[in-house]
Structure 1
Amino acid sequence: METLNIGKIKLTWLNGGVTHMDGGAMFGVVPKPLWSKKYAVNDKNQIELRTDPILVQKDGVKLLIDSGIGFGKMTDKQKRNYGVTEETSLDQSLKTLGLSTDDIDAVLMTHLHFDHASGLTRYEGDELVSVFKNAVIYTSSIEWEEMKHPNIRSKNTYWKENWEAVQHQVKTFTKKREIVEGISMYHTGGHSDGHSVIVLEDSGETALHMADIMPTHAHRNPLWVLAYDDYPLNSIAAKQKWQAKAAEKNAWYIFYHDAVFRALKWDENGDITVSLRRENSL
């Protein structure tokens, strides 16, 4: 498991599973000859997307950024459609660190699409129960309302199996929520109406998690947004805003989906100056 320290904040990437999604959908209107130079694609036109939660530890508090793809919750058809070749093994990842899901104090949900939220619940027999039973689950109020009342487009990604068993644990916010000192969530919209980013700051160092408005390093260009984005112009505006803030702080970018990099920094020319690669990445 890869780790990164942001001052006194320790980040550890856990194994949340892997999907393979259509490359054209993941890069929207960008022509394949352009995006395929920056991110590997298979013969089915799919790109590998990890769904790896990030364990955040500071001053004894244990947080999780998103929850992984889950285990035992998808049909064979769903696994085929979403290119799921590996499900969550979060319990094993935490056990390696001497922890369990009961030790997680809060889960920071950037949004509640199935590839981020399916790890919140699991089956015990025929009943769905909370995986992180002692945790507060944070998400924006807009995202939470759409999760419970999806529209004709979003009902394919907001599943009742992922929220009904944990609704008593959910706390929402509007514009900003500081979880602990130096770790805050900010509502952006864009990818979904309730989408949020996460900023981590300590001892003069900064990390920015752009979630699905920049799911991989290949999405650095503000105009390279997903066909899955509900509000692409909002995604573009949010990317421009937060990239400018990151440049001011010489911030790390950290990723949940990227199959190559866990974290990196860019210079003003867009060249990678330092990076943390995922073990066994291509």
Structure 2
Amino acid sequence: METLTVGNAKLTWLQGGVTHMDGGAMFGVVPKPLWSKKYPVNDRNQIELRTDPILLELSGKRYLIDAGIGNDKLTEKQLRNFGVCEESSIDRSLSQLGLSTASIDAVLMTHMHFDHASGLTKWDGEELVPTFENATIYVSQVEWEEVTEPNMRSVNTYWEDNWRPIKHQVKTFSHHMKIDEGLGMWHTSGHSNGHAIIRYIDEEHQFIHMADLMPTHAHRNPLWVLAYDDYPVTSVHEKKRWLDEAIKEGAWLTFYHDAIYRAVQFNEKGEHAQSVAREQYAYPVHK
């Protein structure tokens, strides 16, 4: 498991599963000859996307950024269509660290799409129960409202199985919430109406987790947004705002979906100043 220390915070990437999604959808209106130079694509026009939660250890607390794709939550058709070749093994990842799901104090949900939220619940016999039994689950108020009352577009990605068993654990916020010293969540909208990002600052050390505003390092161009985004123009503006801030402050950008990099620091030329590569990745690394 890859790790990164940022000030007093330690980040560890767990194994939350993997999907293979349509590359065109993941890069929106950007032509394939451009984005395929930045991120590998298979013969079905799919790109590999991890769904790996990040364990964040800070101030004696253990936080999880998003929850993975879960286990036995998808139908055979969904497994095929989403190119799922690996489901979650978070229990095993935590066990290797001497931890368990009971060790997680809070889960910071950037949004509640199935590929981020399916791991919030698990099967106990015929019943779905919370995976992280002791955790508070933070999510923006707008996102929670959309989850519990999805519209005709979002109903296909906000699944009742992922939220109803954990609703007693949920704590919502409007624009911003302080989670811990230097650690907060900000509502951005864009990818979903309730989408949020996470930022940690410890003097000159910091990281920004932009979640699906910038799902991989290859999405660095602010104009390269997803066809899945509900509000793509908002995504462009929010991504530019936070990316400019990250470059100015020398912040790490961390990734949940990237199959190649776990985290990257960009310089003002858009080059990698520093990076943490995913050790298991088998393809050439693109910078």
TM-score by length of structure 1 reads 0.99
What is the DSSP-based 3-state SS (H/G/I as helix, E as strand, rest coil) of the residue aligned with 2:280? coil
The residue aligned with 1:30 is 30
The residue aligned with 2:137 is 137
What is the DSSP-based 3-state SS (H/G/I as helix, E as strand, rest coil) of the residue aligned with 2:191? coil
What is the DSSP-based 3-state SS (H/G/I as helix, E as strand, rest coil) of the residue aligned with 1:226? coil
Distance in 2 (CA, whole Å) between partners of 1:10 and 1:22 is 33
- Per-residue CA deviation, residues 244-271 of structure 1 (Å, 9 max, x unaligned), is 2112211000000000000011111111
- Per-residue CA deviation, residues 5-31 of structure 1 (Å, 9 max, x unaligned), is 011100000000000000000000000
The residue aligned with 2:83 is 83
Q: Confirm whether residue 190 of structure 1 aligns to residue 178 of structure 2.
A: no
CA contact (8 A) 2:247 2:265 kept: no
Q: After the TM superposition, which of the residue ranges 112-121 and 236-245 deviates more from structure 2? A: 236-245
Q: What amino acid maps onto 1:60 in structure 2?
A: G
Distance in 2 (CA, whole Å) between partners of 1:36 and 1:199 is 29
Q: Confirm whether residue 20 of structure 1 aligns to residue 20 of structure 2.
A: yes
CA contact (8 A) 2:184 2:200 kept: yes
- Per-residue CA deviation, residues 95-137 of structure 1 (Å, 9 max, x unaligned), is 0000000010000000000000000001111100000010000
CA contact (8 A) 1:8 1:203 kept: no
Alignment of 1:194-209 (within 5 A): 194-209=194-209
Q: What amino acid maps onto 1:23 in structure 2?
A: G
What is the DSSP-based 3-state SS (H/G/I as helix, E as strand, rest coil) of the residue aligned with 2:95? helix
The residue aligned with 2:175 is 175
Report the alpha carbon displacement of residue 280 of structure 1 after superposing the two structures with TM: 1.6
Identity between Structure 1 and Structure 2 (%): 62
CA contact (8 A) 1:142 1:174 kept: yes
The residue aligned with 1:116 is 116
- Per-residue CA deviation, residues 199-236 of structure 1 (Å, 9 max, x unaligned), is 01124201010000100001000000000000000000
Report the alpha carbon displacement of residue 32 of structure 1 after superposing the two structures with TM: 0.3
Alignment of 1:1-282 (within 5 A): 1-281=1-281, 282=283
Report the alpha carbon displacement of residue 243 of structure 1 after superposing the two structures with TM: 1.1
Distance in 2 (CA, whole Å) between partners of 1:211 and 1:204 is 22
Q: Which runs of 5+ in 1 are unaligned?
A: none
Corresponding pairs, count: 282
Distance in 2 (CA, whole Å) between partners of 1:125 and 1:220 is 43
Distance in 2 (CA, whole Å) between partners of 1:230 and 1:213 is 11
Q: What amino acid maps onto 2:118 in structure 1?
A: S
Q: Which runs of 5+ in 2 are unaligned?
A: none
What is the DSSP-based 3-state SS (H/G/I as helix, E as strand, rest coil) of the residue aligned with 2:259? coil
Distance in 1 (CA, whole Å) between partners of 2:247 and 2:27 is 23
Report the alpha carbon displacement of residue 194 of structure 1 after superposing the two structures with TM: 0.2
Q: What amino acid maps onto 1:54 in structure 2?
A: I
Distance in 2 (CA, whole Å) between partners of 1:42 and 1:160 is 32
Distance in 2 (CA, whole Å) between partners of 1:60 and 1:15 is 22
Task: Report the RMSD for the aligned CA atoms in angstroms.
Answer: 0.6
Report the alpha carbon displacement of residue 242 of structure 1 after superposing the two structures with TM: 0.5
Distance in 2 (CA, whole Å) between partners of 1:113 and 1:238 is 19
Q: Which runs of 4+ in 1 moved over 2 A?
A: none
Q: What amino acid maps onto 2:206 in structure 1?
A: T
Q: What amino acid maps onto 2:224 in structure 1?
A: W
Report the alpha carbon displacement of residue 73 of structure 1 after superposing the two structures with TM: 1.1
What is the DSSP-based 3-state SS (H/G/I as helix, E as strand, rest coil) of the residue aligned with 2:197? strand
CA contact (8 A) 2:111 2:194 kept: yes
